[in-house]
Structure 1
Amino acid sequence: MSIRDLARHLNISIGTVSRALNGKSDVNPETRERVLVAAKEFGYVPNQSGRSLRQGTTNTIGFMIESSIETADNGGSFFMPVFEGVQSVFRRHQLDLVALLCGTDEDPGAYLNRIVGRRFVDGLIISATMRNDPRITFLLERKIPFVTLGRSATGGQYPWIDLDFEGVAATAVARLLKFGHQRIAIGVPASDINLGYVFLEGYRRALSANGISFDPDLVFPANSNEEGGYRVATAMLAQKQMPTAVILVNENMAIGLYRRFYEAGIHPGRDIAVVGFRESTQSRFLSPTLTCFRISLRDLGIKLAEALLSTMPAFASNYPQDSIDLVWPMELVPGESDGPWHGT
């Protein structure tokens, strides 16, 4: 049913029906109720394309994901709960969320340029922020509302929310030192993604705070997935003096790491201490269970949505924020994969 059909059925003007559906104050309450009841009864859905042309908005927010870094390595275990949190806020304002998947064969900057050029969305959430991220400069120059999931060294004022990579590194190092480990390795991303720099710097500071010298030979760059974990373990085994513990930037790396160590007759949790990053289904069902960190991903999504809406004039009064620079907390979940060092 079109708005014209709805107006004809109710015997009132199209303009009155439109104003009633949009909650305008100049419509008689009884008339508004008649319109809303009839719209529900006949399943009337506004023509979003037409409304967008008239209003200059799409009522759609894009969440940009780079498949090369995130979806392949995390599946839906990370982003689906985040999406649910974001959408729980957006649905209160009749906003829709769309996932914008940038493929492995496309430059993220070019992809974003195309999305913005098509005026496909009113605002953006971008993830996998790089050390120097041209997407941020691009959005700032065009004054497009956005929030980043992750920090960047790129200059400018914009809201960001990031996971507590420094806190995870500091807690993991302190825990392993308490268990007697001195040669603590770290698995970091083999890319320019900024979280790798933040994680490594947190690790260095934690070692220094405990009087341990930083050894670059204990830093193992790898893809943040199962294959990357396998490669980290292989590189650790090749060292003349193998580390007694390792901290991983991604929990999925533990799967490949476990396999490689078991192949070499080394048992995680007994012969090598392992600390992963985020608690997941895989981490709970690994044997031994993985010591890692818990995070409320749905709540993270809610905060991302609120941060974005605070930058959009139509919604800013409901979400007043001068600035948002937030490190999202994570809670240690002890498992069986780390413990006292029994070596010599």
Structure 2
Amino acid sequence: MTGIRRLAQHLDISIGTVSRALNGRPDVNEETRKRVLEAAAELGYVPNQSGRSLRQGTTNIIGFMMQTGAEITGQGDTFFMSVFDGVQTVFARHRLDLVALLCSSQEDPDDYLRRVVARGFADGLILSATQRHDPRLEFLAKRKIPFATLGRSLTDVGQPWLDLDFEGMAQTAIDRLVERGHQRIAVTRPHDDVNLGYIFVDQAASALEAHGLFLDPDLIFRSTPNEAGGYRIARELLSKKDRPTAILLVNESIAIGFYRGLSEAGLKPGRDIAVIGRHSPQTHFLSPSLTGFELSRRDLGIALAEALLATMPAFSHFYPNAELRKIWHEELIEGESDAFLLPHG
């Protein structure tokens, strides 16, 4: 392993110039920067991160806060790992490390965040599972800690955010189902106060209203975002006297459990009930194939990381064109699960 002093001697340039080149500072010309990076790779340069952090007053760590617990098992497997890959792809350019901050479902998220901040653990944060009203955002803003959110909130302090296009998914799915003759359509939403549930249900209701239809409150099913939650939705739906003819599943993981619940009752998606959901790596193995929305989670992670760094002075010059707020579109992939048609009129 080679330190910065040995690298400077090898290149016959000052330690300061080598340091600025390695840290991506704009006051180093591109030819010098290229020489330094090539020599660093050739000699196996490894920075002294602890000393560097002490000198700069930074940790070179970005924390990603997410909730854990039995009720959300499955969500992390199908969504966050690919998002993490995209986020770390960006952070690696700047020798930053991503650390998952796992808040137990048994602990208050506000208390957990305050403890993390008090320890000075990270230079910036990414928050997920944004709530309808989220005091975490005001807490971080008051302490001038750089952060971005994966999801919107009515609590808005001007932070960068990226969110999935839940309005577009609800609108597209409702239009598709109504065109196929469905009028009694059910929707799902998360079990907690996460903001995406409000967005999704409100847009589904508006889309139905535009068609002269009504979203029956009895057909709004809450569930945990996992396979067990989907199974419970199926059992609850089957217990209705006047069952819906179609359903929209807002979370990726619940489709698998929902299919299982229908199968046990001798029902089949696309034949007995129309189903539109969201794709995960696991849903591609469902039969009949799921009609659902799909996106590149890795690209979402890249955009999220760039939006955060664009607000941090040490990195902002690298991302002058980063989109600080964006609704992330999901593409509808047609399958067989919504093949069930009803005669119009």
TM-score greater than 0.5 by the shorter chain: yes
Change in Cα spacing, 1:261 to 1:22, as seen in structure 2 (3 Å) is same
Change in Cα spacing, 1:295 to 1:36, as seen in structure 2 (3 Å) is closer
Shift, 1:41, TM fit: 6.0
Residue equivalent to 1:302: 302
Residue 272 (structure 2) pairs with residue 271 (structure 1): yes
Residue equivalent to 1:239: 240
Contact 1:85 1:298 in 2 (8 A): yes
Residue equivalent to 1:142: 143
Contact 1:181 1:340 in 2 (8 A): no
Residue equivalent to 1:66: 67
Amino acid at match of 1:297: R
Instruction: Indicate which of 20, 34, 38 corresponds to 2:18.
Output: 20
**CA RMSD of superposed structures (Å):** 3.0
Amino acid at match of 2:309: L
Shift, 1:10, TM fit: 5.0
Secondary structure of 2:289's partner?
coil
Shift, 1:182, TM fit: 0.8
Task: Give the Cα–Cα distance (whole angstroms) in 2 for the partners of residues 26 and 328 of structure 1.
Answer: 36
Residue 167 (structure 2) pairs with residue 169 (structure 1): no
Task: Give the Cα–Cα distance (whole angstroms) in 2 for the partners of residues 227 and 76 of structure 1.
Answer: 15
Change in Cα spacing, 1:313 to 1:71, as seen in structure 2 (3 Å) is farther
Contact 2:186 2:221 in 1 (8 A): yes
CA distances 1:253-274 after superposition (whole Å, capped 9, x unpaired)? 1222112212222221101111
Task: Give the Cα–Cα distance (whole angstroms) in 2 for the partners of residues 339 and 241 of structure 1.
Answer: 20
CA distances 1:234-268 after superposition (whole Å, capped 9, x unpaired)? 11111111111111111221222112212222221
Structure 1: gaps of 5 or more residues: none
Residue equivalent to 1:45: 46
Residue 114 (structure 2) pairs with residue 113 (structure 1): yes
Residue 327 (structure 2) pairs with residue 331 (structure 1): no
Contact 1:10 1:35 in 2 (8 A): no
Shift, 1:77, TM fit: 2.7
Task: Give the Cα–Cα distance (whole angstroms) in 2 for the partners of residues 280 and 178 of structure 1.
Answer: 26
Task: Give the Cα–Cα distance (whole angstroms) in 2 for the partners of residues 45 and 161 of structure 1.
Answer: 34
Change in Cα spacing, 1:35 to 1:305, as seen in structure 2 (3 Å) is closer
Task: Give the Cα–Cα distance (whole angstroms) in 2 for the partners of residues 5 and 172 of structure 1.
Answer: 61
Shift, 1:209, TM fit: 1.1
User: How many residue pairs were aligned?
Assistant: 338
Please identify, of 104-113 and 213-222, the stretch whose mean Cα deviation from structure 2 is larger: 104-113
Contact 1:129 1:193 in 2 (8 A): yes
Task: Give the Cα–Cα distance (whole angstroms) in 2 for the partners of residues 12 and 221 of structure 1.
Answer: 63
Amino acid at match of 2:308: L
Matches within 5 A, 1:283-322: 283-320=283-320
Residue equivalent to 1:184: 185
Structure 2: gaps of 5 or more residues: none
Amino acid at match of 1:20: V
Q: Percent identity?
A: 54
Secondary structure of 1:77's partner?
helix
CA distances 1:164-217 after superposition (whole Å, capped 9, x unpaired)? 111111111111111111110111111111111111111111111111022101
Secondary structure of 1:124's partner?
strand
Secondary structure of 1:288's partner?
coil
Change in Cα spacing, 1:136 to 1:235, as seen in structure 2 (3 Å) is same
Secondary structure of 1:303's partner?
helix
CA distances 1:107-154 after superposition (whole Å, capped 9, x unpaired)? 221221122222221111111101111111111111111110000111
TM-score by length of 2: 0.88
Task: Give the Cα–Cα distance (whole angstroms) in 2 for the partners of residues 192 and 212 of structure 1.
Answer: 26
Contact 1:70 1:128 in 2 (8 A): no
Change in Cα spacing, 1:318 to 1:182, as seen in structure 2 (3 Å) is same
Change in Cα spacing, 1:142 to 1:292, as seen in structure 2 (3 Å) is same
Shift, 1:232, TM fit: 1.1
Residue equivalent to 1:259: 260
Contact 1:183 1:244 in 2 (8 A): yes
Secondary structure of 2:73's partner?
helix
Change in Cα spacing, 1:329 to 1:36, as seen in structure 2 (3 Å) is closer
Amino acid at match of 1:175: R
Please identify, of 61-70 and 236-245, the stretch whose mean Cα deviation from structure 2 is larger: 61-70
